[in-house]
Amino acid sequence: MAWASTKAHDEEIIGILNRGQKGNVIRSNQVYGGFDGIDVNAGTSDENQGSECDIDDNSMHNLGDDATESDDISAINLRFYRNTIDRVFSGVSVAPNIQGPEYILYNTITNTGRGGFKFSLSGTGQTWICHNTLTGDAPGVPAVHPSGPYSNMHFRNNVMVGNGIAAVDDDAGESASGNDFDGDLVWANVSAFFRWKGTNYSTLVSLRSATGFEANGRAADPQFMNAAAGDYRLKPGSPAIDGGLRLPGINDGYQGAAPDMARSSSPRAPT
């Protein structure tokens, strides 16, 4: 379903919309064929709206716009985790998070038409984006593709792959303050794997020197089992295995020498 043919039309339908108070759980649903998948648009007047909610273990695919949205909220401890997202326009929209913390953990986001993550509208809330797998088969679609100003997005232990474009595609003027990346595996099949404030970076050394990002990150092919068949598990010997950072309360149940990057570590909701 194309974005342009459904935006601002009767077809702009949301699969599940959470506008309730705190503590709702939306789990184990299949959402497909509409516009947005699962949205938490609860408003900014009260921090309880959307707080302590879990959106987990859902499958969202073939959607005209965003698989999940947390737009215009000031919620505390909103959690999106272990969701499977495929064939949508954008994977996750945070536009904006006013307060947080918000957690986006252990999701698999594949084959998006625009990008895996979309940020905009000057969000300043603290958002932790950890252990997600983002890749696609369409050329020119990055893992991170903001559309406006954003702050305080913290990326840890993700696998982010760009196809024909940098995996992180952030032009000048979009990133504001407090955004950081560390412990991620970032890869693209073009020379520049990371674009930040309009500058392309082709090596971790140059990225670290200019931005301080990915002090513990890696730049290499993640070696998925069989991406063409939808199997995004890591092959033995993948550089993402044992490559992640310890994140107390998020990946305490890891196996091996260290947490794996991507979704493949033992996933759990933050405590």
At 223-263, the pLDDT tens digits run 999 999 999 999 999 999 999 999 999 999 888 999 999 98
Sequence-distant (6+) residues with CB within 8 A of 244 are 131, 156, 157, 183, 251, 254, 258, 259, 260, 261, 265
159 belongs to a structural domain: yes
35 belongs to a structural domain: no
Q: Are 137 and 114 in contact (CB under 8 A)?
A: no
- Domain hosting 209: range is 72-234
Distance between CA 190 and CA 166 in Å, rounded? 7
Q: Is the pLDDT score of 200 beyond 60?
A: yes
Domain count of the fold of the chain:
1
Distance between CA 160 and CA 236 in Å, rounded? 18
19 belongs to a structural domain: no
At 34-67, the pLDDT tens digits run 999 999 987 777 888 889 999 999 999 999 999 9
207 belongs to a structural domain: yes
pLDDT for the residue numbered 6: 56
pLDDT for the residue numbered 11: 53
Q: Is the pLDDT score of 1 beyond 60?
A: no
pLDDT for the residue numbered 8: 54
Task: Please report, rounded to a whole number, the percentage of residues in the chain having pLDDT higher than 70.
Answer: 92
At 161-198, the pLDDT tens digits run 999 999 999 988 899 999 999 999 999 999 999 999 99
260 belongs to a structural domain: no
| Residue environment code for 39-72, b if the CB has 16+ CB neighbours within 10 A, otherwise e | bbbbebeebebbbebbbbebbbbebbbbbbbbbb
Q: Is the pLDDT score of 265 beyond 70?
A: no
266 confidence band (pLDDT: 50, 70, 90) = very low
